Amino acid sequence: MAEVLSQQEIDLLLNNVKSGKEEKPQPEQQKEAVLFDFRLPNRISKNQLRLIRNIHEIFAENFASFLVSKLQSVVVINVTAVDQFYYSEYVLSVANPACLFTYEIKNTDIKGILEFTPELSFTLVDRLLGGNGLGTKQTNIITPIEQKVLQIAVERVMLDLKKAWQQVDKLDFIVDRFEPDVDFAQITSPNESVLLITFEIVIAEKTYLMNLCYATFAFDTILAKLSSQKFTSLRPTKYPGTTSKEIITLNMMDVEIPVTVEFGSSKITVKELLELEKGDIIMLSSKIGDESVVKYNDKKLFYGIPGVSNKQRAVKVTRRNLNQNQTTI
């Protein structure tokens, strides 16, 4: 069937015939071909990577809370990168000697590596043993004693990973062994892809790195359970850290302080005081039914009514002493 020209196209042809010129069509610019490597380790989609990042942000928040309680210092942990690499590329990036703990997920073929940088390892050991984390060491070799100390943090990492992944499935993370050389860790073949999650750990204004490396050749069963609908409500807020004031306030909440209750007062002469004997009665200025005074450090804080609770003497607080500034307690 012949192509029907529009009136605009007919007018354009007539104008070209009258002028004796013919516009040549401009050649289309060819797009440059980009070589594609079919061996790229992209087993996990971008959407699944975002969900995995959310899971490990929850882990980072929980692990930071643990370190705050153990190190008694301000700790902030952020997820800085979630990438896929060849295992051979990851091996080349690890220092030697290193601080590596291999782990596995129970009832699966998934294995992984928990990597502490040497600086982070020595800081954790120093602070867990009561130091200030500013000490130095001649070598980067982790001794057996230091391995036992780090085991406290490693076991907590496994527990917090289990809690973070519980939205997907019940996964038990189990520590396998310590390895100072990445060549002996060997969680997968060099040509297989791994999922590398990098954490930035800030302890007392100093920054350290921690890595989690998953072998992804057996990750398909877990990836199948990752659903964006399941994680719509799983959007953790950025962990702001804990200040020194909050740490001190939290610890002071369990401190016991002496509190006294004054039922009444009276004034007597020195002669009456010297003549006091067993059975004598001292008249108080307060009457029956009057409120007693609750004191701390000789400061009137509250008023209350005396009574009995669970067969013990007690005072029911009725009101606060408005004349006493609370900040002076």
pLDDT at 324: 61
Query: For the chain, what are the domain ranges?
Result: 46-250, 257-274+284-328
Which percentage of the chain shows pLDDT scores above 70?
Answer: 82
pLDDT average, residue stretch 302-323: 84
Contact present, 324 and 296 (Cβ < 8 Å):
no
pLDDT in tens, 48-106: 888 899 999 999 999 999 999 888 888 999 999 999 988 999 999 898 889 999 999 98
Domains 46-250 and 257-274+284-328 share a fold: no
pLDDT in tens, 139-171: 788 899 999 999 999 999 999 999 998 888 888
pLDDT exceeds cutoff 60 at 116? yes
Q: Count how many residues are written for the chain.
A: 329
DSSP string, 183-209: GGT--S-TTSEEEEEEEEEEETTEEEE
Note the helical H segments in the chain: 7-19, 46-71, 87-93, 118-128, 144-165, 220-223, 244-252, 270-274
Domain 46-250, CATH 3.30.420.40 — does that match? Answer: no
Mean pLDDT of the chain: 81
DSSP string, 93-105: HS-SS-EEEEEEE
Contact present, 56 and 162 (Cβ < 8 Å):
no
The class that CATH gives domain 257-274+284-328 is mainly beta
Please say whether the dihedral angle defined by the alpha carbons of residues 238, 243, 249 and 253, taken in this order, is positive or negative. Answer: positive
